[in-house]
Amino acid sequence: MNNNPYYGPEGHGPYEMIDIGDLLLEDGGTIPNCKLAVATHGALNAAKDNAILVPTWYSGTSKIMEQVYIGAGRALDPAKYFIIVVNQIGSGLSTSPHNTGGAMTGPNFPKVRIGDDVRAQHRLLTENFGLKSLALVVGGSMGAQQTYEWAVRYPDFVKRAAPIAGTAKNTEHDFLFAETLNEAITTDPGFREGRYGSPADVAAGLKRQAKLWTVMGWSTDFFRANRHKALGFESVQAFIDTFMTGYFAPMDPNNLLSMAWKWQRGDVSRNAGGDLAAALGRIKAKTFVMPISHDMFFPPADCEAEQRLIPGSEFRPLASIDGHLGLFGTDPQMLAQLDANLSELLATRVN
């Protein structure tokens, strides 16, 4: 068990650690006393119909969701909604490779799937918060994967769904993107098959992953427009070294790999014997599918193909040359589009 100071309330709080009990995993094994790090904003109303769930993406925590997406005057306004941000398993705040002792520590952490997270969250919401429905599930990237999984698995529970920059079934191409990120880490000799002493031992691998994220996470147009300079970095190199490498360097490699394994295999069709159309056809939530125009990982065309399979859904692409990492909130105009869509979705009457 590795005590990494990056993962803690100082940088990512406040949040509450909630033990949801033993979690049986789809790929075998059990996480005993699975703990979810949960941040809430606002209050549940008497009718218990104003709850919004926000799951997290790869490497992200509840903190960035709060900073970028939640606030007074925003679509996700704590004055109106009870907003529950749940850090995914493997995120470093919830039960994760780096904070689990014993036989499941580090590289021995079991394989966790999107469906495991969603079942854990369902137990949390029903048993700990006494919820019977969610007004909205909204998340980006792996948060979108969880959003789709929620809408397919619990069609009556989820009233509205807003998957942003993610897919219901991961594409083979996206699987490869993630594989190159993983290999940047695992091929660092300091990784030692997951038995490194600290992230610093894997600094070179984490830096290579940061460079790959720089190439794939933004877009050609982002750099041509000198958006990295607008964000305060004098050169692409400074952007890589300071921002991107600085972001990943303190993170635990086994945590990242645990999330990436899950990301690569996100697939709601597992709920319908491999039939994606059947799985998406189960969705009752009013769904706005919101890819980002310049996203290399989850291009709009991939998302639109899925959107067509969801009854009553709408395709609402967000325009931003910031690409996938526009999720970081770097483009105020994209956030404005997102808020407008979410406000409209939340105002939509549902059963």
Binding site for a second copy (CB under 8 A): 171-177, 179-180, 183, 187-189, 204, 208, 211-212, 214-216, 219-224, 236, 240, 296, 299, 301-302, 305
Least Å distance between CB 314 and a second copy?
22
Residue 86 CA, distance from chain mean position: 10
Least Å distance between CB 229 and a second copy?
11
CB nearer a second copy, residue 241 or residue 339: 241
Least Å distance between CB 300 and a second copy?
10
State the CB neighbour count (10 A cutoff) for residue 31: 22
Place of tokens 């969705």: 283
Can 294 be counted among the known catalytic residues? no
Can 62 be counted among the known catalytic residues? no
The three-class DSSP label of residue 145 is helix
Could you say which of 174, 188, 267, 295 is catalytic? 295
The radius of gyration of the chain's CA atoms, rounded to the nearest angstrom, is 19
Closest CA to 164 of 138, 190, 186: 138
* Euclidean distance between CA atoms 10 and 282, whole angstroms: 41
Could you say which of 141, 219, 258, 320 is catalytic? 141
Is there a contact between 44 and 50 (Cβ–Cβ < 8 Å)? yes
Phi-psi region of 219 (alpha: psi -120 to 50; beta: other; left: phi over 0): beta
State the CB neighbour count (10 A cutoff) for residue 176: 11
Least Å distance between CB 214 and a second copy?
6
Least Å distance between CB 236 and a second copy?
5
Closest CA to 187 of 196, 174, 198: 196
CB nearer a second copy, residue 173 or residue 195: 173
DSSP 160: E
Q: Please, which residues bridge with residue 24 across strands?
A: 30
Least Å distance between CB 289 and a second copy?
16
* Euclidean distance between CA atoms 182 and 191, whole angstroms: 11
CB nearer a second copy, residue 44 or residue 236: 236
Tokens of 98: 């780096």
Closest CA to 99 of 252, 259, 260: 252
Can 141 be counted among the known catalytic residues? yes
CB nearer a second copy, residue 212 or residue 278: 212
Q: Please, which residues bridge with residue 62 across strands?
A: none
CB nearer a second copy, residue 4 or residue 171: 171
Tokens of 263: 């990301």
CB nearer a second copy, residue 33 or residue 237: 237
Catalytic residues: 141, 295, 324
